[in-house]
């Protein structure tokens, strides 16, 4: 159970006083998210201290740092997922994760 701390005045979407960054991404990999892309997502998420949730519309949020949660998304090509990132390095984590998830997962640039 999460205990919510008060946010700074005027801030919304925060957890423990920290702003939650959100972005919707579209899966572009021709096979969607299967074992190999899921492993890359989890590995990247684990390089950040921020908490990462990946949400497929109408489903329970998946923990981005858990391989089984990410694979259970079963996100096919073209599926839109919402990324919710919270923590000290949330902005950097969101940028890198969004770029990875909208790529072909084989790019050396990411």
Is residue 69 within 8 A of residue 30, CB to CB? The reply is no
Is residue 41 within 8 A of residue 97, CB to CB? The reply is yes
Q: Which helix (H) or strand (E) holds 21?
A: strand 18-26
Active-site residue, selected from the candidate residues 34, 61, 72, 98: 34
Is residue 27 within 8 A of residue 83, CB to CB? The reply is no
34 carries an active-site annotation: yes
> Mind telling me the catalytic residues?
34
């Amino acid at each position: 159970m999460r205990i919510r701390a008060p946010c700074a005045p005027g801030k919304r979407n925060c957890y423990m006083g920290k702003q939650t960054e959100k972005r919707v991404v579209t899966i572009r990999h021709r096979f969607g998210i299967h074992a190999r892309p899921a492993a890359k997502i989890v590995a990247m998420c684990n390089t950040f201290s921020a908490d990462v949730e990946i949400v497929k519309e109408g489903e329970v949020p998946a923990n981005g740092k858990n391989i089984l949660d990410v694979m259970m998304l079963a996100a096919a090509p073209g599926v839109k997922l919402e990324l919710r990132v919270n923590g000290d390095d949330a902005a950097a984590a969101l940028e890198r994760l969004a770029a990875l998830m909208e790529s072909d997962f084989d790019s050396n640039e990411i």
